[in-house]
Chain A
Amino acid sequence: MTTQDEGPDRVELLQGTLDVLILRTLTGGRQHGQGIARAIERNSGDEFLIDHGSLYPALKRLEKRKWIEAEWGVSANNRRARFYELTRAGRAQVEVETDRWHRLAAAMGRVLGTEPTGG
């Protein structure tokens, strides 16, 4: 998946939405990519149907900002996998991102609350 690094403020914000979901998921402990994707899907009540592939650019971005770090390990069912973990900066960022997310969600909720009936 392509990313939109050229994006102005609001695009950043949008990407931050996926970022916050990842960060939030990782507050529960270290997890590999598939586990993160699954957790997001499960926690959204399977509302979000996402390409698992789109997770990796986000993870890469978070890694670059030093909010998470990763290393190879072994999964519960004995598969080799790359595990991600929050850094100290990352933990602080969760608070900031969660706040932004709530503001965005509230705005979205208001807009989505006025669902027009299709003609």
Chain B
Amino acid sequence: MMGWGRRSGVDEREERLAHIRLEADRLVEEGVEEREALRQARARFGRDETLEATTTRWGLTAFEFLERDVRHAVRRLAAAPLTTATILASLTIGIGVNTAIFSLADQALVRPMPVPNPDGVVQLSWEGQWIGEGRGWGKLLPHPLFTALAEQTSVFASLAARSPGEVTLITPAGPERNTMSLVTGSFFEVMGIRPHLGRLIDERDDQILGGHPVAVLSHSFWRTRYDADPNVVGRELRVNGEPLTIIGVAPEGFHGTDWSRMPAAWTSMMMNDLVHAWGDLDQPRVRFQHLFGRLADGVSRDEAQASLAPWFERYRRIDMEHPSWPADREEAEVAAYLDATLAVLPGRTGDAERTHDLTEPLLILSAATALLLLLACLNVANLTLARAVTRNRDTAVRTALGASRVRIVVERLVESGLLAVIGCGFGIVLAPLVSAWILRYFEVGGDGMALHAGIDGRMLGVAVGTALVATVLSGVGPAWFAASTPPMGALRTQKAGAGIRIRRALVVGQVALALVLLVGAGLFGSTLSTLRGQGPGFATDQLITFELHPGNDGFSVEESKGILEEVRSATARIPGVEHVGLSWQPMLRGSGWGNNMLVGNDERTVTDTYLPMNAVTPGFFDALDVDVLRGRGFDSRDRAEPGEWRWDVAIVSQSFVDRFLGGEEPLGLRIDFARDLDVQPRMEIVGVVEDYAEQRLRDPDPQVYFPFDAHARTGGAYYLRASAPLAAVTDEIRRRVSDVSPALTVSELRTLDEEIDRLLVFERMLSAIGGAFATFGIGLAMIGIYGVLSFMVQARRREVGIRMALGAPRASASRLVVGDALRLTLWGFAMALPTIWLLGRWIESWLYGVSATEPTTLLSAVAIVLAVCVGASVGPATRMARTPPTEAFRAD
């Protein structure tokens, strides 16, 4: 007998080893292979300090214990498939959508250009008053400033200018419109990249105006249009009808300074006239270049900007002596011009044309996604808590059987870790699909954006990060609960205790978030349907448009004019085509030609806003089916002789008359561009047309039209109204244009409905994604409410049984449950309202025809959430009502 005194460690260990051998023997009898039997027997024993030393002998590692824990966890999770599936779905969607959106936002807004040491790149920006014209987008500077700066300062190690343009390219794959970027000789040096093939543009190609017909292809353009031909160097690339020699191919992945508009090729800045129609590179009144550089060693951005200040001062003084300087500028404007600064900004992300219009939608999506993730986490927390409440009893029993707290904590960690890992894995699978879905909206333009839906390191990082955030967020509630409930509490109490209070709070949060998402979706959906319903002010369903730029296909100005006319009559003869009109600028692109106008009435008023304008042919208004309300449309009277530019007639829209003429007779009144108040206005108003949207679908601005044929135009956009099926007409258009000349390139050929889809790309995206988020949010909130109510019904069975036994009607029991659901929902509303108000102000500029605080949207959202919440309570309420009075006598 050895009950007294301490037994030796050796003896204790001996006993345990014997135990394992006996267990192994048993397993061998059951048919397990001996080594495996030993291993399993050892694993059954669990962690045991007295055995640690021998563990290796049995070939068991910490990993194998983990494996056993994981197997247990899988078994437990599989035992509640519905809960597990819901948790996994929540995590998957939360993580997947977050990863997708943040990955896109990262690529668009944060990620640096794919060049060596992107942090060393700076961009120059003219901050403040500019006097002159601007062509293009972003931080524009005039070419003379670049040449002066490149010669006269030692601030920069290298400095380069670039300017993108839209050109017609002819490659072995056929003719196409694409972007070509003009660059100075130092551009690729600033970028710091090496050619994939041949050489890049350098100073040798930056000497003589018009004298460097060279091109460097982008890697993807070379791959897709030249089939990655290794002998491409020396071949010809036709740009706007002129032959250029291909001298090299840029490295893979390099897209220049603008990820949103990747150039197909680069050429020398000296070829400006070939790419841009506005001529004269040395004109200081036109700014169209982006300037990027790298600073000299040891110079910081602040130092660079400070030392450039005196130079910039001199530059502007000299500029004011230039013949192009407008003499009629007011003093205040000139003072503001002299107040401007030349800022040296970080250039690591480049200057992307679409950063501006993508930033807000991406931020809105990011915010919505964060809400969605939070909602998913609340749901996971809620479900985990429900599981924990059940598990707590199980835990108590297991503690009773000797399992240590460490053991149980480890098991729970393994379980939630397992869920997080699986959710994260599914999320990573889902993320590229979501990205691809969103990119489908962005890429309607097909203008070569460098955004990818694929999985990369940063995306994985985001996914894992999101999973961690989700695990922490959804773990807080259960952990709080676990900490606040003693193990035996679960065995003792019939009340739900702290768990239910937390779960109720979580459900309130879920309802609030679901409501916010739903209101958001409602606002975006209503905006989209209002814009669609309103349309541009004319019927779009039987309209086709396409662009033709003979000037870019190698034809002269005079030839172009004839071709445009010829195509007009050729397409008008297509069976089923009723009217054909042509405008200089394509309509409904969100931007275009515009100006302030001077109205030559007695007061000489200047319109206070930018007015969209266009030059259109006779037949244009007929094609749109826009009525001429007064006076006449354009006709053959408004035609200029070759070489002549006539500015003598104009047509205005009805709202122009309403807004600027104050009841005065419009016909016969003269107007002009608001440039100089002392000049006699030249254009006589000959007609007034109905209002319609020229550039954007929101409230049509007052508009002005000039005769297309009064000027030498080298291209334009056609509009055809057809009674025949549009697909047939589309095919016929290509044939007829090619009949006129096979050298012509038809581009942007599509229906007006497609044009509007493209115009409303962000509205459509926000509406679709908002709707998907809201649906998911509502679903989660419903699950949350259902779970909590079901739990309440279980917990209150006895209480209800007693009430029933005392004669309470069944309906009162149901009321109890539904009332509870309503209470939770109302708390959720109360929490949601301030959020909706705040977010509503933020997204206001994206809304149209609704406001965030408008009762209709809010009330319908509230009604939907309320209906869903009450709906979720029907099941539990029915169960509650069926509580037999005998419940009162059960238990205790």
Chains A and B belong together in one complex: yes
Secondary structure dominating the interface of B? helix
Binding stretch for chain A, among B41-49, B303-311, B457-465: B41-49
If A1-B48, A111-B491 touch, whether A51 touches B402 (CB-CB below 8 Å) is yes
B778-818 interface mask toward A, CB cutoff 8 Å, 1 = contact, 0 = none? 00000110111011001101000000000000000000000
The answer, among A53, A64, A81, for a CB contact under 8 Å with B18, is A81
Q: How far is the CB of B28 from chain A (nearest CB, A)?
A: 10
**Chain B residues positioned under 8 Å from A77 (CB to CB):** 22, 25
Q: Are A57 and B402 in contact (CB under 8 A)?
A: yes
Task: Please measure, in the bound complex, the distance between the C-alpha atom of A56 and the C-alpha atom of B646, giving whole angstroms.
Answer: 106
Q: Are B18 and A32 in contact (CB under 8 A)?
A: yes
**Chain B residues positioned under 8 Å from A43 (CB to CB):** none
**Chain B residues positioned under 8 Å from A15 (CB to CB):** 400, 402
Q: Are B407 and A51 in contact (CB under 8 A)?
A: yes
The answer, among B401, B491, B784, for a CB contact under 8 Å with A48, is B401
Task: Please measure, in the bound complex, the distance between the C-alpha atom of A63 and the C-alpha atom of B11, giving whole angstroms.
Answer: 15
The answer, among B390, B401, B791, for a CB contact under 8 Å with A50, is B401
**Chain B residues positioned under 8 Å from A27 (CB to CB):** none
The answer, among B48, B406, B791, for a CB contact under 8 Å with A53, is B48
Q: Are A116 and B784 in contact (CB under 8 A)?
A: no
Task: Please measure, in the bound complex, the distance between the C-alpha atom of A53 and the C-alpha atom of B50, giving whole angstroms.
Answer: 10
Binding stretch for chain A, among B111-119, B127-135, B381-389, B609-617: B381-389
The answer, among A17, A32, A104, for a CB contact under 8 Å with B19, is A32
Closest A residue to B12 by beta carbon equals: A56
- State whether the Cβ of A88 lies closer than 8 Å to any Cβ in chain B: no
Q: Are B2 and A17 in contact (CB under 8 A)?
A: no
- State whether the Cβ of B354 lies closer than 8 Å to any Cβ in chain A: no
Q: How far is the CB of A117 from chain B (nearest CB, A)?
A: 5
- State whether the Cβ of B83 lies closer than 8 Å to any Cβ in chain A: yes
**Chain B residues positioned under 8 Å from A68 (CB to CB):** 3
The answer, among A10, A50, A70, A104, for a CB contact under 8 Å with B402, is A50
The answer, among A53, A57, A75, A113, for a CB contact under 8 Å with B22, is A75
Q: How far is the CB of A62 from chain B (nearest CB, A)?
A: 9
Q: How far is the CB of A22 from chain B (nearest CB, A)?
A: 10
Q: How far is the CB of B272 from chain A (nearest CB, A)?
A: 67
**A-B interface contact total, Cβ < 8 Å:** 165
Q: Are A115 and B794 in contact (CB under 8 A)?
A: yes
If A69-B1, A69-B3, A79-B22 touch, whether A116 touches B397 (CB-CB below 8 Å) is no
- State whether the Cβ of B490 lies closer than 8 Å to any Cβ in chain A: yes
B407-430 interface mask toward A, CB cutoff 8 Å, 1 = contact, 0 = none? 100000000000000000000000
**Chain B residues positioned under 8 Å from A119 (CB to CB):** 83, 382-383, 386, 503, 783-784, 786-788, 790-791
**Chain A residues positioned under 8 Å from B332 (CB to CB):** none
B456-499 interface with A by 8 A CB criterion: 487-488, 490-492, 494
The answer, among B22, B48, B407, for a CB contact under 8 Å with A35, is B22
A68-119 interface with B by 8 A CB criterion: 68-71, 75, 77, 79-82, 104, 107-108, 110-119
B543-574 interface mask toward A, CB cutoff 8 Å, 1 = contact, 0 = none? 00000000000000000000000000000000
**Chain B residues positioned under 8 Å from A57 (CB to CB):** 402
**Chain B residues positioned under 8 Å from A114 (CB to CB):** 494, 794-795, 797, 891
**Chain B residues positioned under 8 Å from A13 (CB to CB):** 400
A28-58 interface with B by 8 A CB criterion: 32-35, 37-38, 48-58
Q: Are B47 and A108 in contact (CB under 8 A)?
A: no
If A1-B46, A64-B3, A116-B790 touch, whether A52 touches B795 (CB-CB below 8 Å) is no
**How many interface residues does chain A have, given as a range?**
35 or more
Q: How far is the CB of A40 from chain B (nearest CB, A)?
A: 8
Q: Are A117 and B15 in contact (CB under 8 A)?
A: no
**Chain A residues positioned under 8 Å from B402 (CB to CB):** 1, 15, 18, 50-51, 54-55, 57-58
**Chain A residues positioned under 8 Å from B21 (CB to CB):** 79
Q: Are B491 and A66 in contact (CB under 8 A)?
A: no
- Of the candidates B2, B22, B794, the one having the most CB atoms from chain A within 10 angstroms of its own CB is B22
Q: Are B788 and A54 in contact (CB under 8 A)?
A: no
**Chain A residues positioned under 8 Å from B46 (CB to CB):** 1, 51-54
The answer, among B1, B382, B401, for a CB contact under 8 Å with A17, is B401
Q: Are A33 and B25 in contact (CB under 8 A)?
A: no
**Chain B residues positioned under 8 Å from A10 (CB to CB):** 488
- State whether the Cβ of B399 lies closer than 8 Å to any Cβ in chain A: yes
Q: Are A79 and B404 in contact (CB under 8 A)?
A: no
Closest A residue to B887 by beta carbon equals: A114
Q: Are A52 and B19 in contact (CB under 8 A)?
A: yes
- State whether the Cβ of B396 lies closer than 8 Å to any Cβ in chain A: yes
- State whether the Cβ of B393 lies closer than 8 Å to any Cβ in chain A: yes
Q: How far is the CB of B88 from chain A (nearest CB, A)?
A: 14
Q: How far is the CB of A101 from chain B (nearest CB, A)?
A: 10
Q: Are B19 and A116 in contact (CB under 8 A)?
A: no
Closest B residue to A77 by beta carbon equals: B25
If A51-B44, A56-B12, A111-B494 touch, whether A14 touches B787 (CB-CB below 8 Å) is no
13 interchain pairs (CB within 8 A)? A1-B46, A1-B48, A11-B488, A15-B400, A32-B18, A34-B22, A48-B398, A48-B401, A51-B407, A63-B2, A79-B18, A81-B19, A116-B390
Question: What 5 A-B pairs have minimum CB-CB distances, sorted nearest first?
Answer: A119-B787, A51-B46, A54-B402, A17-B400, A34-B22
Other contacts beyond A38-B26, A55-B402: 12, CB < 8 A: A1-B404, A14-B400, A21-B401, A32-B22, A48-B401, A51-B46, A51-B47, A51-B403, A69-B2, A82-B18, A118-B82, A119-B787
